Chains A and B, each alone.
Chain A
Amino acid sequence: MKKRRLLSIAMSGLLTILAVTGCGSTNSSTASALGGGSVIKIGSVHPLTGSYAYEAQAIVNAQQLAIDEINAAGGIASMGGAKLELEVGDSQAGADTGASETERLISEGCSIITGTFQSGVTLTCMQKAEQNQVPFLVTVSNNVAMFENGFEYCFRIQPNADVFAHDFIEYITEIKTDDIKTAVLIHEDSLTGTDSGDIIAENMGSTGIELLDRITYSASTATLSTEVTKIADLKPDLLITIGYFADTSLLVKELNERGVELKMVCGVANGGISDTKFIEDFGDTVENYLDLNYRFNPNSEKTEELLTSYKEKYGDDMSVHAVWGYESIYVIADALERAGSSDSEALKKALHETNIEDHVLAQAGPITFDEKGENVNAAGVLVQIQNGKHVVVYPREFAEAELIVGE
């Protein structure tokens, strides 16, 4: 009996330590930086544990970076220099947990919630925010339908799956060479992959490239060898891939091992191809891979400063996703500044009137929301891996380098 009691004490001790280290990390850093002035809490719900923990942490890091910058510059001037504070919630990659975390953050006094990296989770969080009449700003999630529900308090800066897919169709038609005649589309089968996949499959006809097959898989799969067998048999000129980091890497690994030759590989909002770790892992073999994705504007000084300060602070290259976490905080700060209040009605109204020219995104025109809450000027760009670096190659106004097609 004694032993068992000891055991239960040890277990609960361990759990407490975990719980404390788990949620304490974000509060402590901000609390000490604050003087006496008022504090505006911003909620952030992301899958900090689970398969997407890496991407999620990067987004939260970037949000914290933006908050630190704003606070260091004096906070929100119109509110007497009020400081921002990030309250972090972990969705654990689940829709229910995401919603309850949203609820918790709202009850703890967050003026606005941001999140969540996964469309399925974002939707339930948006519903919670909408019910509570608290504004919600999407960091990363590209599902189209969730902004068709007539929500009044929800906003999104990033391009949705619809924009991605149509931009892909448009750009690929413009850049393709005559030897690209056939394509295979492979994508993971959650909302994220399926949304863009549907639109691309429907519109491939207009590009003049024949779509030979559409292959779907579950993102948590341990192997894609059968899928790669199919691709090897079909011998397409172009492979279109929509997926996250781990599954896309698995795909490329197996393509390389089999020596499958493709004239062009192009991702659509691909979590692998646009990640710098992807280049580290695959080196020369992924040279000239393309990805249609959202991105920071490579030709702006502001971006350069941001990338440097992120690397300095976190010792890691800033991922493309993280940029949206960063920009989300500036959009919120801008709205707070104009509203002069963290009241949700005032904040919602101010967000609707957003017009930010000075941003780090690769989009033509300012960040401004339509009546649905979607960024009117959101757009994707074509990024290519050249000499082991990501460079924007299309459209020309954001291009850093010439597009390389074929050998």
Chain B
Amino acid sequence: MNAFFQASIDGILMGGVYALAALGISLIFGVMRITNFAHGALITVGMYVTFELCILIGITPYIALPIVMIIMFIIGFLIQKIFLNPLMGVAGYNQLLLTQGLAIVIENLILVIFSANYKSVTIPGFDSAISLGALTINKPKLVAFIFVAAISIGIYILLEKTDLGRAIRATSVQPEGATLMGIEVPKINQIAFGLGIICAGVAGALLTPTQYIYPTSGNSYSLKCFVIAVFGGLGNIWGAIVAGLIIGVVESFSSLYMGGSWSELVVYLIFIMTLIIKPTGLLGKKG
């Protein structure tokens, strides 16, 4: 029974990070209909940016977070401006290939700049877990979860309550219409991509205390987050969050009851089932 609760806690905490990363994919798809295959590579970028900030200024990843967000936003903004805006309106596979190409370029740039050595960040006082009776809670994952919640709510408010948010939503529904209403669609796309990349970068930053940093460390998240975004309903922000948490718990339970080798299998089975049974995803609108 203990193991059941422990696995639930671990699954939810891990799921939070998945959710944030998937939210980025979902947001980008929702606005621009681009499947961003460079997301995993940009998670890795977030990790390295955090690592460098921690080393250079001597701060913890949490204090570095606002700077990471700014840097990641700029990176996202520029990727959209330089690479993706010219491809808007052409066949979708062009953008798909471009993001995949970007992923390879980013990965190799990191390899050239930072070498393949494993890097890690330690936070003083975070080397033990919080214990609640027989249960334990991993501190970095708990803090990450809190940040994920805060940032998700922040993005929600931004999209629902601000003029910028309304412009983004308008663009996602009808780009041509939005243009006619005086919205600068290319600029909105850049901002939306920047926001999506903030999600990737923050997920990366929050993973640094629990994960080794190496040129491909974000890759294992790339496909998983795509699965989560589809499972939750591409373009649906709450869907991504709910699906992230579900996948986290499912992974945790399948490790517990079926063995760790099964957990990946189960996740992709869910993906296939989603595509067959409800292709629009958990919270996606009916096609």
Q: Flag whether A215 is at the interface (Cβ < 8 A).
A: yes
Report which of B83, B214, B256 forms a contact with A229, defined as CB distance below 8 A. Answer: B256
| B1-58 interface (Cβ within 8 A of A) | 2-3, 6-7, 10-11, 14
Tell me if A218 and B260 are in contact (CB < 8 A). yes
Q: Flag whether A7 is at the interface (Cβ < 8 A).
A: yes
Tell me if B260 and A215 are in contact (CB < 8 A). yes
Choose, from B108-116, B160-168, B269-277, the stretch at the interface. B108-116
Q: Flag whether B176 is at the interface (Cβ < 8 A).
A: no
Q: How far is the CA of A189 from the CA of B259 in the complex (A)?
A: 10
Tell me which residues across on chain B come within 8 A of A245, comparing CB atoms. Answer: 118, 212
Tell me which residues across on chain B come within 8 A of A57, comparing CB atoms. Answer: 115-116
B151-165 near A? 1/0 per residue, CB < 8 Å: 000000000000000
Instruction: State the Cβ distance, B225 to closest chain A Cβ, in Å.
Output: 11
Q: Flag whether B100 is at the interface (Cβ < 8 A).
A: no
Tell me if B6 and A53 are in contact (CB < 8 A). no
Instruction: State the Cβ distance, A191 to closest chain B Cβ, in Å.
Output: 13
B46-89 near A? 1/0 per residue, CB < 8 Å: 00000000000000000000000000000000000011001100
Q: Flag whether A173 is at the interface (Cβ < 8 A).
A: no
Q: Flag whether B120 is at the interface (Cβ < 8 A).
A: yes
Task: Please name the 5 residue pairs, one residue from A and one from B, whose CB atoms are nearest each other, closest first.
Answer: A217-B260, A53-B116, A225-B10, A226-B255, A257-B129
With known contacts A225-B252, A226-B256, A229-B3, A246–B118 Cβ distance under 8 A: yes
Report which of B2, B87, B101, B210 forms a contact with A253, defined as CB distance below 8 A. Answer: B210
With known contacts A54-B214, A189-B260, A217-B260, A49–B107 Cβ distance under 8 A: yes
Q: Flag whether B150 is at the interface (Cβ < 8 A).
A: no
Report which of B14, B83, B115, B220 forms a contact with A220, defined as CB distance below 8 A. Answer: B220
Write the chain B residue with the least CB distance to A21: B112
Q: Flag whether B231 is at the interface (Cβ < 8 A).
A: no
Tell me if B82 and A7 are in contact (CB < 8 A). yes
Q: How far is the CA of A33 from the CA of B264 in the complex (A)?
A: 49
| A211-230 interface (Cβ within 8 A of B) | 215-218, 220-227, 229-230
With known contacts A15-B105, A49-B107, A259-B128, A215–B259 Cβ distance under 8 A: yes
Interface of B toward A, CB cutoff 8 Å: 2-3, 6-7, 10-11, 14, 82-83, 86-87, 101, 105, 107-109, 111-112, 115-118, 120, 127-129, 131, 136, 138-139, 207, 210-212, 214-216, 220-221, 252-253, 255-256, 259-261, 263-264
Tell me if A217 and B86 are in contact (CB < 8 A). no
Tell me if A246 and B82 are in contact (CB < 8 A). no
Listed by A's residue number, 15 A-B pairs whose Cβ atoms lie within 8 Å are A3-B86, A49-B111, A56-B116, A224-B260, A225-B10, A225-B138, A226-B6, A226-B253, A226-B260, A230-B3, A249-B212, A256-B127, A257-B127, A257-B129, A257-B136
Q: How far is the CA of A250 from the CA of B209 in the complex (A)?
A: 11
Write the chain A residue with the least CB distance to B138: A257
Q: Flag whether A406 is at the interface (Cβ < 8 A).
A: no
Tell me which residues across on chain A come within 8 A of B120, comparing CB atoms. Answer: 249, 281
Tell me if B260 and A18 are in contact (CB < 8 A). no
Tell me which residues across on chain A come within 8 A of B212, comparing CB atoms. Answer: 245-246, 249-250
Number of interface residues, chain A, beta carbon within 8 A: 46
Tell me if A54 and B86 are in contact (CB < 8 A). no
Tell me which residues across on chain A come within 8 A of B139, comparing CB atoms. Answer: 257
Tell me if A49 and B138 are in contact (CB < 8 A). no
Tell me if A223 and B107 are in contact (CB < 8 A). no
Tell me if A258 and B129 are in contact (CB < 8 A). yes
Tell me if A51 and B216 are in contact (CB < 8 A). yes
Instruction: State the Cβ distance, B199 to closest chain A Cβ, in Å.
Output: 17
| A194-243 interface (Cβ within 8 A of B) | 215-218, 220-227, 229-230, 233
Tell me if B255 and A258 are in contact (CB < 8 A). no
Tell me if B261 and A217 are in contact (CB < 8 A). yes
Q: Which of A51, A249, A316 has the most C-beta atoms of chain B within 10 angstroms of its own C-beta? A: A51
Write the chain B residue with the least CB distance to A226: B255
Instruction: State the Cβ distance, A365 to closest chain B Cβ, in Å.
Output: 35
Q: Flag whether A14 is at the interface (Cβ < 8 A).
A: yes
Write the chain B residue with the least CB distance to A277: B118
Tell me which residues across on chain B come within 8 A of A223, comparing CB atoms. Answer: 10, 14, 210, 252
Instruction: State the Cβ distance, A279 to closest chain B Cβ, in Å.
Output: 13
Write the chain B residue with the least CB distance to A221: B260
Tell me if A51 and B252 are in contact (CB < 8 A). no
Tell me if B128 and A217 are in contact (CB < 8 A). no
A29-63 near B? 1/0 per residue, CB < 8 Å: 00000000000000000001111011011000000
Q: How far is the CA of A217 from the CA of B262 in the complex (A)?
A: 8
| A2-18 interface (Cβ within 8 A of B) | 3-4, 7, 11, 14-15, 18
Tell me if A222 and B86 are in contact (CB < 8 A). no
Tell me which residues across on chain A come within 8 A of B3, comparing CB atoms. Answer: 226, 229-230, 233
Q: How far is the CA of A21 from the CA of B207 in the complex (A)?
A: 30
Q: How far is the CA of A245 from the CA of B139 in the complex (A)?
A: 23
